[in-house]
Amino acid sequence: MQSVKSSWKFNETIPNIISSQKRGMVRLRAREQLTFELTGGAMNSHIVVVEDDVDQLANYSYALSKKGFTVSGYESADEIQHALSGQPSLVLLDIHLGRDPDAGFGICQWLLDRYPGLPVIFLTSRTDEIDQIFGLRLGAWDYLTKPISTALLVEKVAAVLKRANRARNGMDTVLTDGPLIVDPDRAQVSFHGQQVSLTVTELAILEALMRAEGAVLTYDQLAERTRQTVVTNNTLSTHIKHIRRKLKVIDQAFDALVNVYGTGYRWESPPG
């Protein structure tokens, strides 16, 4: 099989669609693109993809380019080490490249030695927990396993870029209130030094209430934060009860989740 060029360059624009039947879809896609850019998106972002499967490399590159990213693709450690010039915004990195089953780990170390803090996401078919732990300990920001839809992959890239931008701008992504520490980016919660296992929805609700800093969040606002299609008031109250119960197991005095009758909930920081 003939090798692809060592560097792909995609930077396509959405074609103009003049058909009246498609104008509604164009407006919808425009809103999606604006939301994407505001939440971490593609503005001036250069993504490097290291993948030895030519078809997968092309698919990932095309999907990212459609969201406005500039994408460079490489098939091997030699290619990226000889061709990469300047720090990219993010690197998507396979582990098994060619005949080397661990090539990606070496590339990750090489990249982080050159560009400390560079966001690296492993994208691999290796699902063993030991590989995931090793990759994250090397300094990767995320570890994704194949197969993965290109839609989800693009959103994962945007989420990591958002984290990187916030960290670069000095914005605090970790929330603390006394003995409670919430790290939404890593989906980790600790209370009095003990890890607390929350579901994705519970974590989203807790984060929203803590960020509101005492302001009341209505049921509708909390439902929006969960990103679920249909969420009733009773469902939200059940999630709140589960959060409260898990924290009370560690400290019976916990009472920071306050119900505002008929309206929603607010976060009340403990005194002192």
The whole-number pLDDT of residue 88 equals: 95
The whole-number pLDDT of residue 22 equals: 43
Q: In angstroms, how far is CA 184 from the centroid of its own chain? A: 10
Closest alpha carbon to 195 in 145, 246, 136: 246
User: How sure is the predictor about 167, in pLDDT bands with cuts at 50, 70 and 90?
Assistant: low
| Token output for 246 | 């898990």
User: How sure is the predictor about 243, in pLDDT bands with cuts at 50, 70 and 90?
Assistant: very high
Q: Sketch out the chain's domains with CATH numbers.
A: 20-168 (3.40.50.2300), 175-267 (1.10.10.10)
Please check the confidence at residue 109 and state whether its pLDDT lies above 80: yes
Closest alpha carbon to 6 in 108, 68, 84, 70: 84
The whole-number pLDDT of residue 71 equals: 96
Three-class secondary structure of residue 103 per DSSP: helix
| Token output for 196 | 């607390």
pLDDT digits (tens, 9 = 90+) for 47-80: 999 999 999 999 999 999 999 999 999 999 999 9
User: What gap in Å lies between CA 240 and CA 238, rounded to an integer?
Assistant: 5
The whole-number pLDDT of residue 41 equals: 54
List the single range of 8-12, 45-49, 213-217 with lowest mean pLDDT: 8-12
Please check the confidence at residue 256 and state whether its pLDDT lies above 80: yes
User: What gap in Å lies between CA 163 and CA 186, rounded to an integer?
Assistant: 10
Q: How many CB atoms lie within 10 A of CB 249?
A: 12
**168 or 134: whose pLDDT is higher?**
134
The pLDDT mean for the chain works out to 83
| Token output for 47 | 């993504």
Q: For residue 107, how many C-alpha atoms fall within 13 Å in the half-sphere facing its CB? A: 30
Mean pLDDT within 114-133: 92
User: How sure is the predictor about 94, in pLDDT bands with cuts at 50, 70 and 90?
Assistant: very high
> How much of the chain, in percent, has pLDDT values that exceed 70?
79
Mean pLDDT within 38-51: 76
- Whether the CB-CB separation of 72 and 49 falls below 8 Å is answered with yes
The whole-number pLDDT of residue 147 equals: 94
Please check the confidence at residue 143 and state whether its pLDDT lies above 90: yes
The whole-number pLDDT of residue 215 equals: 86
- Whether the CB-CB separation of 261 and 233 falls below 8 Å is answered with no
Sheet holding 194-196, edge to edge: 175-177, 180-183, 188-191, 194-196
The whole-number pLDDT of residue 37 equals: 46
Determine how β-strand 257-260 pairs with β-strand 188-191.
Answer: unpaired
| Token output for 169 | 């701008």
**246 or 137: whose pLDDT is higher?**
246
User: What gap in Å lies between CA 158 and CA 28, rounded to an integer?
Assistant: 19
Instruction: Indicate the DSSP class of residue 105.
Output: H
User: What gap in Å lies between CA 235 and CA 244, rounded to an integer?
Assistant: 14
Mean pLDDT within 228-252: 89
